[in-house]
Structures are given as structure tokens and as C-alpha cells.
Structure 1
Amino acid sequence: FRKRDQLVLPIYWWVPVGLLAVPLLAVYLHIPPPQLSHTLHSWKTSGKFFTYKGLRIFYQDSVGVVGSPEIVVLLHGFPTSSYDGYKIWEGLTLRFPQVIALDFLGFDFSDKPRPHHYSIFEQASIVEALLRHLGLQNCRINLLSHDYGDIVAQEQNRSGRLTIVCACQMEVSFQRLIVFSFSKSYLKMEFLPTSLRPSESELWDMWAGIQNNNGNLVIDSLLQYINQRKKVRRRWVGALDSVTIPIHFIYGPLDPINPYPEFLELYRKTLPRSTVSILDDHISLYPQLEDPMGFLNAYMGFINSF
């Protein structure tokens, strides 16, 4: 009798849990996405789309100063988008004749197919396809990357299909892994250590972009890049070890993923030829949003040094 009770209790315990979970899951899957703010809506309407293998990819393309032979391409991080660069955009157009950024496949305003095998190799191919679409595949390119975009940049350098003049990273890709849940609350927690953190409206914009076009349903597929990084670590770290172009790292000491000073010591050991800019003590994971002027000063100092 006791054995039978012990078997029955767990079964009945799961019944109400299951009955509660099903409607909650249904609500989550059908919850309407947040409304786009005026600024984010303007970013979307000022952008364009091109087609890659039947998929629509969102991008920004702005004309800047005349005279320089080089362009700059921004590669955004995870789980955000090209919109991360909106505070530094005008500053970049004052230095480069053309400034380009895209939303990788599965992010913000680009298509988010499911099921789909998202990969860093595919994202790198999309960058190359965009430059061909714009007739820029033979131009001299400066890569400005962040987080997830760093790995794409490493693949671009490894493939050798683009003429990359220099690369600047806002956060390198061999960071410690952390486990987190994707919600607006997470985005808030990520910035809690900073005093020049993105505003409430900027955090909401991030969340709106993630949720756009049912993006919450592809997050788990996009996260497979972590496994890809483990599998092809030698290829991408090798791209860093053998790099011949100038490379620079802009670092916020309050970065919760890559803690100071341990991470900086590891970075300098791994890339002794790379130069480094360390921003103010209160700058964290998104320096281009937290301190756009400090970031631009560091980046332009690097660009103008050669």
C-alpha cells in the first residue's frame, strides 16, 4: 500500500503542474510583441532589406565623409542588433565615407526562420553577400564588432574573402559562459553595475527587437553558436593567433562576463600584438551605449594611429 502511494503521489503532483504549464506556455507563445519606440521605429524605417537565399536581411547603409578609401562595417552582439550602434553612428560617418551595419539572421528586423540551423559560418556568408549586394566586396574594410559579432569577424579574417584593413572588438568571443534567461528583467540585471547604463527606453527597445517577429521562439536555436564555438575553437582562436592586420580591444572594466583584471591579462597573453583601450571604471558590457563619446575617442585613436 505504501509503495503504491509512493508511486501515485508523484503522478498526481505532475497533473496540476501540467495543467498550469500548458496555458502559460500558450500565453507566452502568443503574447504580442512590445510596441517599437519612436527612435527604434525610425531606425527600422531608415534601413533597407536585401535577400539572402530567400531570406530578408535588414541593414543600415549611410554615406559619410568624402576622401577616405575605407568603409566600416559594424557586427553586433547577442542577443541585440545593429541598433546597438545608433549612438556612435553619426560619429562614424564623420570619419568614414560609408558606414554599414546589419541585423544578423534571427535578430531584430531580419527574418527569423524556424526551424533553422543558425551558424556563424552562415552569418559570415550573409555579411559577404551584403557587401556584394552593395558592390563593396573589393573595398578596404574596417570591422567593428561586439560579442557574437567578434566570432563572425574572426571567421571573416579566417576565410580571407574580404580585404580587412583592421578589426576593433568591443568584447572578445572567448568570454566565460554564463547561463541566463532572456527577459526584459535580464537586460536590466545586465546593466545594474553601471552608472551610465542604457536608459529604460533603450532596454525596452532591446526587448522589443528580440520579441519582433516571434524572435523569442528562435533564441534557443541562436544559442547553438556556443556549441559551434567549442567545436571550432581552434579555427577561430587560430584566426586571432595568426592575425596580421591591426587589431584593437575596447574594454569596460565592469564587464560582468569578462572580469577585470583577469580577463585583460588573458587577452594580452593571447593577443600580445593587439592594442587595448580601457574605458572608465563604471563602463561595462556595452561601451558603445554606456559611453559613446569615450568609445568613439578610443576607436578614432586606434584608426588614426596607422
Structure 2
Amino acid sequence: MWLYLAIGVGILAVVYINIPLPPLTPTMLAWRNGGNFFKFGNHNIFYRVERGSNTVGGVLLIFHGFPTSSHDWIKVLPGLQKQHSQVILFDMIGYGLSDKPFDHDYSIMEQADIAEELLKKLKITQVHFLSHDYGDTVALEMLARFHQKRTDLKILSLCLSNGGIFPETNFPRPTQRILTIPYLGAILCRLSFYRAFRRGFGEVFGVHTQPTEAEFRDFHAATWNNHGYLITYKLLGYLAERSQHKKRWVGALQEATIPVHMIYGPSDPVNPSVFIDHYKKTVPRHGITVLSPDISHYPQWEAPEEFTQAYTGFHQQLPK
């Protein structure tokens, strides 16, 4: 029986490998057309530079989460532009519109290298950070380098949101855990399809804050772009990295002397509400804004006005 099952899975894998990728939706095409690419090694990295209206607000660099892209921030972008002179967004390698090499070892360290390279290319030496989910961990790696004087970059502030910065209060979805199983993860990624993506991705949004069908299609198109579905299991290596480097990254947060704030959607199944007390206990010097009870893992998408208000309140209290 197991032999027949293996053969069947193999046949399905071959079929799915050859299914044409869904084209980028009009929304994602417009997002791509408003940006540029730069080379990091042999790979193309997508980025956008948005002009802000606050000439003294400084530059903001934004880090997106797993498994999506910089487009996650489109709903709060106008509000962020009012607070800053410039807003920079980019898709990390393996995500969104950037390259997604198959034979590649993805790591938080490399994503931080890419962010530094982008800022260097743009001749930016002082910057504010805003991050979400996976991006929180990348931002914390950059913060650790800043503390250790291993970068010429000056970080002015850091605003985090709904990320698994504490492994003990982070509960990856069952599908994510399965995909980290050697070999099995690679096979299951090849069997991915839209309805499975929609169902699983929808679980991390609130009951009353689900994306529309068109928005789900946009998320899916960005995730699958450049055969992204084939490497999902590779990207999930960050789960082990968070535990491996917990002392470094949580330590960077605890030792931070720059202004730090957390914006948190409390209905998050990945980082449930036990996170709140743990955050306050572990980093008592840093503030946290808890949004409305029905807001979940993507607060910048689910409650853009509330998120923008929280970020504006934090930014306006920064030293001038």
C-alpha cells in the first residue's frame, strides 16, 4: 500500500510542478511597476522608495512577514508617509517579487545583509525601522549589529508588530510545522494549490477581518511568483534560527537604548495573548499598544486606521 501511495504522490508532484504559475494580479503588477530591483550577489531584490510629506520625520525602512511581501503595508503606507520624509519597502530574498532561488540556504542573517546593502545603495545612514512577523526577527538582528558596532547604520527607532520574537510564546501553525519535516516538506510544497493557501492563510486573520477574495488572490500571486511555493519549506528555517539565536535577538531588544514599541493584534493564533504579559515582563522599558480584540496576526492589513494611529502616537513621541 505504501508503495502505491508513494507512486501516487510522485505522480501528483510531477503534475503540480508543471502547472503554469498564476499571473501577477493587476494590483501586484501595479505594485511592481512602482518599484525597482537591485542586485544582491546574483539575485534581484525588489524595492520601492516612497516620498513622504514630513521633511523632518526621517527615513523609514519596513520589513514584511512570512510568507508574503512588502505589499502587506499598502493600506498603512499613506499614514506612514505623513510621518516620514521617505518610506522604503523591499521584498526579502525568497519573497514577493524578489528572486526565489531553489538551491539556496535562506537565513535571517542574509536578510539583514540585504537590508544593509539596500540602505547603502540609497546612501542612507540613519533610519527608523517598522517590522512585522518574520521581519521583526530581521530587524532585531540589525539591532544586535548596531549594539555591537558591526554596522555603520544608525538606527533611530524600532516599531515591531505580531512577530514570534519569543520562541516560548510563538506557536507556528500545524502546516508550518509539517513543512519543516525533512523531505516531507519539500513534497508538500510541490502539491500546494490556491484553495489550500487561502484556507491556511485565512486562519491567521480575525473572523471579522478576513481579506476579500481579490486580496487573497493578490497575496497568493505574490507568494507563488517566481515559483515561490517550491521553497516555502526552506524559508521556514527561521523557526529554528529563532531558538538558536534567542539570546542574541531577545538580548538586543532588552538592551536597546533606542525607542522601541510593539503594536499587537491580540487575536493572533501564532502569537496568542500570553505574549502580552511576557513582553511586558521581558522588556519592561518598551511600550506596547494592544489593538481591538478581534484584530489578529496582520494588524496593518486588518485594522489599518488603528495601526496607523498607534504608530503615529509612537513616532510623534520620539526625540526630535
Please, what TM-score do these two structures have when normalized by structure 1? 0.91
Matched with 2:17 is: 29
Contact 2:130–2:159 at 8 Å: present in 1 too? yes
Give the Cα separation in 2 of the matches to 1:30 and 1:247: 46
Residue by residue, what CA displacement relative to the aligned partner does 1:261-281 show, whole Å, maximum 9, x if unpaired? x21001100110111111111
Give the Cα separation in 2 of the matches to 1:243 and 1:234: 14
User: 1:51 Cα deviation (Å)?
Assistant: 0.4
Please tell me whether residue 224 in structure 1 is matched to residue 212 in structure 2: no
Q: Bigger relative contact order, structure 1 or 2, given CA contacts below 8 A and separation 6+?
A: 2
Please tell me whether residue 282 in structure 1 is matched to residue 270 in structure 2: no
Residue by residue, what CA displacement relative to the aligned partner does 1:137-185 show, whole Å, maximum 9, x if unpaired? x12x110000100011101111012211110011132223332157222
SS at 2:203 equivalent = helix
Equivalent position to 1:187, from 201, 205, 229: 201
Equivalent position to 1:170, from 139, 161, 164: 161
- CA-based RMSD of the aligned residues comes to 1.4
Contact 1:47–1:59 at 8 Å: present in 2 too? yes
Contact 1:59–1:100 at 8 Å: present in 2 too? yes
Matched with 1:153 is: 139
Matched with 2:51 is: 63
Matched with 1:104 is: 92
Please tell me whether residue 251 in structure 1 is matched to residue 264 in structure 2: yes
Contact 1:248–1:302 at 8 Å: present in 2 too? yes
Higher Cα radius of gyration: 1
SS at 1:239 equivalent = helix
Contact 1:194–1:254 at 8 Å: present in 2 too? no
Contact 1:145–1:170 at 8 Å: present in 2 too? yes
Give the Cα separation in 1 of the matches to 2:6 and 2:290: 50
Please tell me whether residue 294 in structure 1 is matched to residue 293 in structure 2: no
List gaps (5 residues or longer) in structure 1: 1-12
Matched with 1:124 is: 112
Q: How does 1:261-272 map to 2 (within 5 A)?
A: 262-272=274-284
Matched with 2:42 is: 54
2:211 partner amino acid: P
Give the Cα separation in 2 of the matches to 1:124 and 1:95: 24
User: 1:18 Cα deviation (Å)?
Assistant: 2.7
Give the Cα separation in 1 of the matches to 2:86 and 2:251: 30
Equivalent position to 1:144, from 130, 138, 154: 130
Contact 1:197–1:289 at 8 Å: present in 2 too? no
> Is 119-128 or 271-280 further displaced after alignment?
271-280
User: 1:78 Cα deviation (Å)?
Assistant: 0.6
Q: How does 1:7-26 map to 2 (within 5 A)?
A: 13-26=1-14
2:300 partner amino acid: Q
Give the Cα separation in 1 of the matches to 2:290 and 2:245: 29
Matched with 2:248 is: 235
Runs of 4+ in 1 over 4 A off after TM superposition: none
